Amino acid sequence: MHKVMSNPKMIALYVLPSLLLILGIIYVPIILTGYYGLMQWDGVSPMTFIGLENYKTLLQDAAFGSSMLHSFLFAVLSTLSLSVYMLIALVLSGQIKGANLLRKIYLIPMLLSSVAIAQLWLKIYHPSSGILNSFLEALGVEETPDWLADPDIVLTALFVPILWQYAGFYILIYYAALKNIPSSLIEAARIDGANSLQIALRIKLPLAAEVIKVTVVLAVVGSLKYFDLIYVMTDGGPNGASEVMASYMYSKAFRSFDFGYASAIGFFLLIVCLVMTWGIRRLTATKDTIEYS
C-alpha cells in the first residue's frame, strides 16, 4: 500500500476515472454551454457564430429581467426562511416530548419527488375543490382567490410548497450541527445561570455559524436555479408572473428552439450563482478566513 501511495503513476491511475467523470458531467457541459451561447442555433440547422449578441439581447430582454427578479425574490425568501428552520431545530434539539416523531414528520417531504409535491399542492390550491379554499369558505370568506392564476399572489403561493419541501433538509442539517455541540459547554453555561435563550444565542448559534453559512449558500444557489416544481404547477404563468430564470431558459430552448439564446441564459445563470456564492463567502468570512484566502 505504501508503494502504491508513493508512486505518482499509480495515484494518477486511481484518480483518472473520477477525473474523467467530473470532466464529462460538469466541466465539459459548462464549456459547451458557453460555446453555444455565442451561436445562433435552432438545434437542427448549422450553427452561426454571432459573438456576444445573445448576451446583449439578454440584457435588453424585459421578460428575462422579470424572471431574474423572481429568482432573486425566491432567493431572499429562502434565506429568510432559514431562521424558521433554525428555530425549529433549536426546539427539537432540546428535551421535549415527541421530538423523534417530529423529526420524522419533517423529513417526509424529502422522500417525495418534486412532481409529486407539485401535484399535491395543485390539489390544495384548486379554486373550486381545493382544501385551502374549502377551509376559507368554511370560515365565511365569500370570494376565495385563484391562487395560481392571480399574478399578485402566485409567487407567494409557489413559495409555500417550496418552503415545505425543503424544511426537513435544512432542519436535519441544523439539528445535526446543534447536537454536535459538546454538552459540557451547555451544562457549564447552565451552572453559571444562563437561561435557554442565552444558551441558544451565545453558544449554539455561534458554534453552528459555519453550518449556517453553508445553508445560506445552498438556499441562494438552489433558489436561483429552481425549476421543476414551478414548471409543473404554473409553467411560468400566468403571463410570466411566476417565470424564473431556469424556466425561461427551458422555454427558449424547447419551445422557441433558440438553443443559442437558451445557452446564453444558462451560462449567465452559472455566473450569477458563482458570484453570489463568492459574495456570501466574503461577507460571512471571518478575519482569519480572509487572510487565509
pLDDT of residue 191: 87
Provide the CATH number for the domain around residue 150.
1.10.3720.10
Is the pLDDT score of 160 beyond 60? yes
Q: For residue 113, is it within any domain?
A: yes
Is the pLDDT score of 287 beyond 70? no
CA distance 51 to 61: 17
> What are 50-82's pLDDT values in tens digits?
999 999 999 999 999 999 999 999 999 999 999
Q: For residue 88, is it within any domain?
A: yes
Q: For residue 169, is it within any domain?
A: yes
User: How many domains in the chain?
Assistant: 1
Q: For residue 2, is it within any domain?
A: no
Tell me the average pLDDT across 261-276: 95
Q: Containing domain of residue 94, as a range?
A: 62-284
Q: What is the pTM of this model?
A: 0.88
pLDDT of residue 94: 72
Q: For residue 182, is it within any domain?
A: yes
Q: For residue 233, is it within any domain?
A: yes
Q: For residue 291, is it within any domain?
A: no
Mean confidence (pLDDT) of the chain = 89
250 or 290: which carries more pLDDT confidence?
250
Q: For residue 7, is it within any domain?
A: no
Q: Name the band, by pLDDT with cuts 50, 70 and 90, for residue 208.
A: very high
- Where b means 16+ CB within 10 Å and e means fewer, 203-223 reads bbeeebeebbbebbbbbbbbb
Is the pLDDT score of 217 beyond 90? yes
Q: Name the band, by pLDDT with cuts 50, 70 and 90, for residue 293.
A: very low
CB 164 within 8 A of CB 109: yes
